[in-house]
Amino acid sequence: MKSCLVYGVILLALFGNSCSDSSSGPSVLLQALQVGVLLPETGFSPINGTAQKAAVELAIDDINDYFTSNNLPAHIEAVIRDTQGSIDEESRLLDEMADQEIAIVICSMTSSSLALIKPQIDDGRIIVLNDVGTSPQLSLDDNLFRMVPDDRYSARVMADFLSESGIEKIIIYYRNDLWGTTLQEEITSAFTLPENGGSVAGTIVYDARLYMVDMDEKVDDLNTSLTQALIGTTADKVAVILISFEEGIEILKKAAAYPALSSVEWYTGDGLGQNMDLLNDAAAAAFACDVGLQSPLIAEADSDLYRDLRMRIQAKTGLDHYAFAPVIYDAVWLAALTMSETGSNAGSALMKTTLIQEAEDYDAVTGIIEFNSAGDRSACGYDFWAVELVNGDYAWVKTAAGYFSTTAAPSFLSESAPGVTTGNLFQQNFQEPVPEPSLGEFMETISDER
C-alpha cells in the first residue's frame, strides 16, 4: 500500500515537531486522524455489517503499520457507529459526526438511505464515501463519492450476460424503492437494446414494507406472467429477475410451490447476492440452487493483496466472502491518505481534489479506482455468483469472472474465465456522459421515498 503524495517532509511541515532533550534528539508530534464509519452491526439490513466492520478494523491496522514503517507522523483511528439498519439512526449519527468535525465519513448505506440523508451531505460539512449504494439517481456532483459504479453498469452487465446465455424474455419482480425501481428500468433498457434483442414479458412490483401482506397475490401474478411468456418458446429462453433485499428469501420459498417458476433460470441483483441468511434457509437455498439463482457483484481482483485480505476477513469473522468488504477496506485507505495529505481541517474543495488524486495513486485492493464527474467509480468488472450445493452444504460459488476494458464496447468473449469452472470473460466500457436527473426530479424521488 502506498500514496505517492505522502512524504515525511510535507507532513513535518504540516504537523509540526517538538524537541526533547539533546540526548534523545528531535521528535515529531503524531497527527491524530479520525475517519467516521457508519454501518449496520445490528438490525435489519441487506449489508453484511460484520464483514464490513472487520474490513475497516483490518484497514486501520494496515494503515498505521504503513505510517510507522515509513516514518510518517500520523495515526488513524476509526470512529465506528452502529446504524442498526435504521434511517433515523443513520441520519442522527451523520449529524453527530459532522458536529464532531470528522472530515470524512464512510457510510455503508443503501441507495434509499443515501437519498434520504442527501440534504445532510449537501450542507458541506463532511465528505461521504459509500461502498454499496448504486442508484443512478445519486450520480450528482456533490460531496458523495461512491466506491462502486452506478446501476447502469451492472444492468448492462446482466443484460449482456442474459443475452449471451440465450435468454430472450425476462420477467422482473422488484421492490418499489429508489434502488429497485431504477435497477428495473435500467435492466429493461439494456436488455431491449437491438444488440441484445430481448423483451420484457412482464413486471411485478411489490411494496418493500408490506411484501408479506400481498406476497401470495404477487407470486401468483409472477407465475401467470411466466406461464404466458412460455407460450411459443422453451423454458431455457425465459428468465425471472428478482430485485430484492433479504425479503427475497421468503419470495423464493413461495415461488418454489409453482412448477412453472421452477422451470426457468432466476437472476438477482447485489441486494440479495451473497446473502448468508439465504443459504441458512433450507427451502429457499434449495429452490435458489434448482433455478440457478445468479447475481453480478463487483469483481474480485486477481492479486495476492486481494486474496490475502479475503482470507484475513474470513479468519476474523468466520464468514464466507462478501464482495463489498474489500471495497470498504479501500474506502478507509482513501480517507486516511487524503487526510494525511491535507490535514483534518482542510476545506471540502481541497479535500475532494486530494481524494480524487489519491484514488489515482493508490494501489487499491479492488483494482483501479477512477471517479467520474459525479464522484462515482467510473467502471469495474463484475463476477457472477450462484447458489450451489457443495459437499452437502449450500454456498455462493463464483460461476463467471468479469473484467472491463477501456477500449472495447461491452461484450462477452468466447474464452473461459481464469480460475473458475464455468463462465465467460467479460469486457466492459462506458464512455457516454452520465445523464443526471433535474433537481425537481431528484427532490420528487426523495419525497416519494420519505
State mean pLDDT over 39-57: 95
Sorting pLDDT into bands at 50, 70 and 90, what band is 9?
Answer: very low
Separation in Å, CA 42 to CA 38, 45, 49, 85:
12, 8, 8, 7
Sorting pLDDT into bands at 50, 70 and 90, what band is 329?
Answer: very high
pLDDT of residue 436: 40
Are residues 146 and 133 in contact, defined by beta-carbon separation less than 8 angstroms?
Answer: yes
- Condensed to tens digits (0 to 9), the pLDDT of residues 105-119 reads 999 999 999 999 999
Query: Bridge partners of 11?
Result: none
Are residues 167 and 237 in contact, defined by beta-carbon separation less than 8 angstroms?
Answer: yes
Sorting pLDDT into bands at 50, 70 and 90, what band is 402?
Answer: low
Question: Would the pLDDT of 439 be above 80?
Answer: no
State mean pLDDT over 44-55: 94
Nearest to 376 by CA among 207, 144, 203: 144
Sorting pLDDT into bands at 50, 70 and 90, what band is 346?
Answer: confident
Q: Which three cell numbers stand for residue 355?
A: 481524494
The CA distance from 4 to 351, in Å, is 16
pLDDT of residue 209: 79
> Residue 55, Cβ neighbours under 10 Å: how many?
31
Are residues 129 and 145 in contact, defined by beta-carbon separation less than 8 angstroms?
Answer: yes
pTM to 2 decimal places: 0.82
Of 215-229, 276-290, 325-339, 423-437, the least confident: 423-437
Q: Which three cell numbers stand for residue 76?
A: 488513524
Are residues 196 and 188 in contact, defined by beta-carbon separation less than 8 angstroms?
Answer: no
Amino acid at 274: Q
- Condensed to tens digits (0 to 9), the pLDDT of residues 243-263 reads 999 999 999 999 999 999 999
> Angle of helix 49-69 relative to helix 325-342, nearest 10 degrees?
40
Q: Which three cell numbers stand for residue 353?
A: 481534489
Phi/psi class of residue 375: alpha, beta or left (left: φ > 0; alpha: ψ in -120 to 50)? Answer: left
The CA distance from 187 to 156, in Å, is 7
Q: Residue count of the chain, please give it.
A: 450
User: CB neighbours of 389 closer than 8 A, spacing ≥ 6?
Assistant: 289, 395
Of 72-86, 101-115, 167-181, 207-221, the least confident: 207-221
The CA distance from 313 to 306, in Å, is 11
Q: Bigger pLDDT: 10 or 167?
A: 167
- Condensed to tens digits (0 to 9), the pLDDT of residues 150-205 reads 999 999 999 999 999 999 999 999 999 889 999 999 999 999 999 889 999 999 99
> Residue 447, Cβ neighbours under 10 Å: how many?
8
Ranked by mean pLDDT, the top range of 20-34, 170-184, 395-409 is: 170-184
Residue 113 φ then ψ, to 5°: -65, -40
pLDDT of residue 444: 54
What domains can you pick out in the chain, each with its CATH number? 8-130+302-361 (3.40.50.2300), 151-300+380-449 (3.40.50.2300)
The burial of 281, by beta-carbon neighbours within 10 Å (0-12 exposed, 13-18 middle, 19 or more buried), is given as middle
Q: Bigger pLDDT: 115 or 429?
A: 115
pLDDT of residue 420: 26
The CA distance from 150 to 376, in Å, is 7
Question: SS3 string of 325-352?
Answer: HHHHHHHHHHHHHHHHHHCCCCCHHHHH
Amino acid at 3: S
Q: Bigger pLDDT: 187 or 13?
A: 187
Are residues 428 and 381 in contact, defined by beta-carbon separation less than 8 angstroms?
Answer: yes
Task: Please tell me what DSSP assigns to residue 363.
Answer: -
- Condensed to tens digits (0 to 9), the pLDDT of residues 356-392 reads 999 999 999 999 999 999 999 988 889 999 999 999 9
Question: Would the pLDDT of 146 be above 90?
Answer: yes
User: CB neighbours of 27 closer than 8 A, spacing ≥ 6?
Assistant: 17, 18, 19, 20
> Residue 388, Cβ neighbours under 10 Å: how many?
17
Which residue stretches of 43-85 are H helix? 49-69
Q: Which three cell numbers stand for residue 352?
A: 475532494
State mean pLDDT over 326-345: 93
